[in-house]
Structure 1
Amino acid sequence: MMVDGGTYSCKKTDKTLHGICKDTGLDCLDMSNIRAISRSLHIKALLLWLIIVPTCVLGIFFYGQKVSSFFRPLWDTPPKSFNVITHYYAENVSMEHLCDIHGWKIRDTPRRVFDAILFSNEVDMLTIRWQELNPVVTKFVILESNTTFTGLPKPLNFAINRKQYKFAEPKLKYRIYAPSLPTSLGQNPFYEEAIQRVELDKLIREAGILEDDLLIMSDLDEIPSAHTINILRWCDNIPPVLHLQLREYMYSFEFPMSYDSWRAQVHLYKPGKTRYGHFRQADVLFSEAGWHCSFCFRHIRDFVFKMKAYSHVDRVRFSYFLDHARLQDIICRGADLFDMLPEEYTFQKIIAKMGPIPHFLSAVHLPSYLIDNADKFRYLLPGGCVREN
């Protein structure tokens, strides 16, 4: 600045600042104090970043999956709604009337039915499934691999326990699948799953399936009811591809979750066109057509095996998730094995399904073989949550 008899200076000194403050009557800080405050602010900002960044990283590591799931309605859209076909059934009603009430026509003879599955370690659920479907199925087609989808070696559980399936032996088409190239840990599990479904598709053709035969495509624990398949094999004019709405359970039939299971499906087989899959292939859904019992195992070790072996192995974020005592506690409470939030497309449904699944003490409308052998399968019924170690 220019002063009388002086020279121009661009430097603002503490003395100059005090003069200005005195002339204006302002309460000012000197430059040294300003520098000290500036340094203090820099240090606080640095400390803040040192706290915030690690906290955010840890938060994402431990809770990122939950945050992502909770805000799913903001970044994901629900699939197209199904056209739902009302399912009519009651005991002692004629098949002709059942076909007619669905808008279909009864056939002179029933279609042949092929039930095709991949097998891992669900020994008891396979018994319940085949006993339920045995009266209406022509051929049971089953493929078993010596590795899991995640590349882990596994015993041939069906071959080991084959004797207990003698009732299905005359209808059985079984093959062991061994990958031509060794699978590796860390591989994409969905890729290996797709390969095994292609191999199952080949086995179905070898089993002798023909055009217009009925083909059931589902995971082993997705069990269509016998009366559902009976209606579809006896009625004409049914949709060529029909998804099945199954009541969904977790750990046992004590914990019903919803009717949101739809991946099970039935096809009128078309040579050269029908391909085995576990994805949406039509827009038609046949209501209340069976049961889907996820993680319904007798032994805790089987829970651990599936958690490490199936396609969603990425959900096992921490090793303590596999602790036997933790798993037993979660099974009896109906809580989530992977400590996840519900996978839904609306906040209303997410909030409604948060927390453990409520206990349901009814055992009505379940597979008949399960009820006939209630003592053997007590762990699958209400009040039987304790598993064998």
Structure 2
Amino acid sequence: MDCLGNYSDKLLMMTEGGAHYCSKKTDDICGDVCGQESSRALSMSRLRCVLRGLDLKFYILLFVIVPTFVFGVYLHGQKISYFLRPLWESPPKPFHEIPHYYHENVSMENLCKLHGWGIREYPRRVFDAVLFSNELEILTIRWKELYPYVTQFVLLESNSTFTGLPKPLVFGSNQDQFKFVKPRLTYGTIGGRFKKGENPFIEEAYQRVALDLLLKAAGITDDDLLIMSDVDEIPSRHTINLLRWCDDIPSVLHLQLKNYLYSFEFLVDNNSWRASVHRYQSGTTRYAHFRQTDKILADAGWHCSFCFRRISEFIFKMKAYSHFDRVRFSHYLNEKRVQKVICKGADLFDMLPEEYTFKEIIGKMGPIPHSYSAVHLPSYLLENADEYKFLLPGNCVRESD
């Protein structure tokens, strides 16, 4: 009992003297935690213990690799998403491609026969309907190409972009340039709703419904041919002549167009498909810009996207069209950058190719190869090469305002 009492007294004296008793075993790193003179010192010692237990690799991960990864996702998240597209989206059903036969010295009767179609006693009427924004040069080339075979040109223009931005009535202010179509033109305007922040495809659909009404005002009737395509999706004239003369053609037929970017120098592929031709049916036919059938006619024209004369027109479209969300950073709209991207054949939005397999994505990554062929382009373009030089190979520099 005396021994135990003496031991208790000694322990009490150590406590009263300010020393600390540590009942836990310690390792070499944290061994100095015990025996500190104050609680503050004890806390600091424990912190030093934790920090001393972390090696250099942890600090590199925490302060270098993690921030770099987060910043990389911020800059290139859209690219990562598109590259992984084959994992989260299946490719669409392939089209049934109809071979396209044409030569200027072959009779229309034989051309129709080659396609498995009959020949009509007289051609169908043709209506070409478009929504217009500001593409004056491409519209001219389109209408000059189709003029011999179009009965009525129908154009609808809004004072609003699809993204809700106000815009002038560009066509309305430049009608003198299109006197050659005036006797065959039905021109209409529609006021925008200016709902900023709304999905731009809603405004686009609103305008396409209005175009349906304008077509009726233009006098379209059953079995007339209706071309549904954007201004820059240009069917070749011999394609439209074939379809207006041949009997038993499909009621709806997509047109496969050669797909160009910025000018006819940068051929992306031959897979533009949204343009279509319809045998009009009252109460059934609706103006649209999506897939409406599985049938597509091969090599039927040209799609020249972002084919503008001036840098300001590129910038306007980048802000105005339905995919404006791709302008993720303000420097994308810098004039010098836009000009550099055009001449390089790169993507204005720094996007990856919109494909459905890794093979196709990787195969199309990087700038588009230059093409120096100007064979089988719209005739009016070549006949007026000086005026439309910016659309021909070797002329990538655009006008700056």
| TM-score normalised by length of structure 1 | 0.90
2: CA distance, partners of 1:154 / 1:183: 11
Which residue type is aligned with residue 186 of structure 1?
Answer: G
Inter-CA distance 364–89: structure 2 relative to 1 (3 Å threshold): same
Inter-CA distance 41–206: structure 2 relative to 1 (3 Å threshold): farther
What is aligned with 2:108? Answer: 95
2: CA distance, partners of 1:53 / 1:174: 57
Secondary structure of 2:149's partner?
Answer: coil
Q: 1:203 aligns with which of 206, 214, 218?
A: 214
Q: Identity of aligned pairs, percent?
A: 62
What is aligned with 1:24? Answer: none
Inter-CA distance 30–313: structure 2 relative to 1 (3 Å threshold): closer
What is aligned with 2:42? Answer: none
Deviations 1:117-143 (A, max 9, x none): 000000000000000000010010000
1: CA distance, partners of 2:228 / 2:31: 79
Which residue type is aligned with residue 248 of structure 1?
Answer: N
2: CA distance, partners of 1:176 / 1:164: 18
Inter-CA distance 46–33: structure 2 relative to 1 (3 Å threshold): farther
Whether 2:313 is the aligned partner of 1:292: answer no
CA contact (8 A) 1:140 1:168 kept: yes
Secondary structure of 1:307's partner?
Answer: helix
What is aligned with 1:18? Answer: none
What is aligned with 2:3? Answer: none
**Range moving further from structure 2, 50-59 or 200-209:** 50-59
What is aligned with 1:177? Answer: 190
1:47 deviation in Å? 7.9
Which residue type is aligned with residue 94 of structure 2?
Answer: S
Inter-CA distance 38–199: structure 2 relative to 1 (3 Å threshold): same
What is aligned with 1:13? Answer: 25
What is aligned with 1:115? Answer: 128
What is aligned with 2:317? Answer: 306
Whether 2:347 is the aligned partner of 1:321: answer no
What is aligned with 1:338? Answer: 349
2: CA distance, partners of 1:71 / 1:378: 39
Secondary structure of 1:257's partner?
Answer: strand
CA contact (8 A) 1:13 1:31 kept: no
Deviations 1:65-93 (A, max 9, x none): 11111111111111000000000001111
RMSD: 2.1
Secondary structure of 1:293's partner?
Answer: strand
1:120-139 aligned at under 5 Å gives the runs 120-139=133-152
Whether 2:221 is the aligned partner of 1:222: answer no
2: CA distance, partners of 1:40 / 1:207: 82
What is aligned with 2:284? Answer: 273
2: CA distance, partners of 1:317 / 1:257: 23
Which residue type is aligned with residue 374 of structure 1?
Answer: A
Which residue type is aligned with residue 13 of structure 1?
Answer: K
| TM-score normalised by length of structure 2 | 0.87
1:32 deviation in Å? 2.1
Inter-CA distance 191–43: structure 2 relative to 1 (3 Å threshold): farther
1:30 deviation in Å? 6.7
2: CA distance, partners of 1:42 / 1:368: 73
| Count of residue correspondences | 368
Deviations 1:254-286 (A, max 9, x none): 111101100000011010000000000000010
In structure 1, list runs of 5 or more residues that go unmatched. Answer: 1-5, 15-27
**Range moving further from structure 2, 364-373 or 340-349:** 340-349
1: CA distance, partners of 2:169 / 2:118: 43
1:59 deviation in Å? 1.8
1: CA distance, partners of 2:346 / 2:66: 32
